[in-house]
Structure 1
Amino acid sequence: MLKQRGDRCWTYEEPLRFLGLEIGRIMTVIRLSSGGLFVQSPAELTPELQSALDELGDVRFVAPASKLHGHLYMEQYRAVYPNAELLAAPGLPARRPDLQFDQLLGDTPDPRWAPDIDQVAIVGHRWLTELAYVHRPSRTVILGDVGFHIGEGSPLTTRLVARALRVYKQIGPPLEFRLTIANEASFRRSIQDVLAWEFDRVVPGHGEIIDTGGKRAVLEGYDWLL
Structure 2
Amino acid sequence: MIEQQAERLWTYEEPLRFFGFEIGRIMSVIRLSSGGLFVQSPAALTTDLRSALDDLGEGRFVASASKLHGHLYMEQYRDAYPDAELLAAPGLPARRPDLRFDQLLGETPDPRWAPDIDQVAIAGNRWLTELAYFHRPSRTVILGDVGYHIGEQSPLKTRLMARVFGVYKQVGPTVDYRLTIKNRATLRRAVQDVLSWDFDRVVPGHGEIVETGGKRAVIDGFDWLL
**What aligned pairs does 1:19-38 form with structure 2 within 5 A after superposition?**
19-38=19-38
- TM superposition score normalised by structure 2: 0.99
Q: Deviations over 1:78-119 (max 9, x none)?
A: 111111000000000000011000000000000000000000
What is the match of residue 102 of structure 2? Answer: 102
What is the match of residue 66 of structure 1? Answer: 66
Q: Which runs of 4+ in 1 moved over 6 A?
A: none
Q: Secondary structure, in 3 states, of the residue corresponding to 1:211?
A: coil
What is the match of residue 141 of structure 1? Answer: 141
Q: Deviations over 1:4-31 (max 9, x none)?
A: 1112100000000011110000000000
Q: C-alpha distance in 1, partners of 2:189/2:168?
A: 24
Q: Secondary structure, in 3 states, of the residue corresponding to 1:10?
A: strand
Q: Residue type matched to 1:214 in 2?
A: G
Gaps of 5+ in 2: none
- TM superposition score normalised by structure 1: 0.99
1:128 maps to 2:144: no
What is the match of residue 55 of structure 2? Answer: 55
Quote the sequence identity (%): 78
Q: C-alpha distance in 2, partners of 1:38/1:173?
A: 24
What is the match of residue 217 of structure 1? Answer: 217
Q: Secondary structure, in 3 states, of the residue corresponding to 1:13?
A: strand
The CA RMSD over aligned residues, in Å, is 0.5
Q: Secondary structure, in 3 states, of the residue corresponding to 1:11?
A: strand
1:200 maps to 2:208: no
Aligned length: 226
Q: Deviations over 1:192-213 (max 9, x none)?
A: 0000001000000000000111
Q: Deviations over 1:104-151 (max 9, x none)?
A: 000000000000000000010001100000000010000000000001
Q: C-alpha distance in 1, partners of 2:111/2:220?
A: 33
Q: Secondary structure, in 3 states, of the residue corresponding to 2:10?
A: strand
What is the match of residue 153 of structure 2? Answer: 153
Q: C-alpha distance in 2, partners of 1:79/1:8?
A: 24
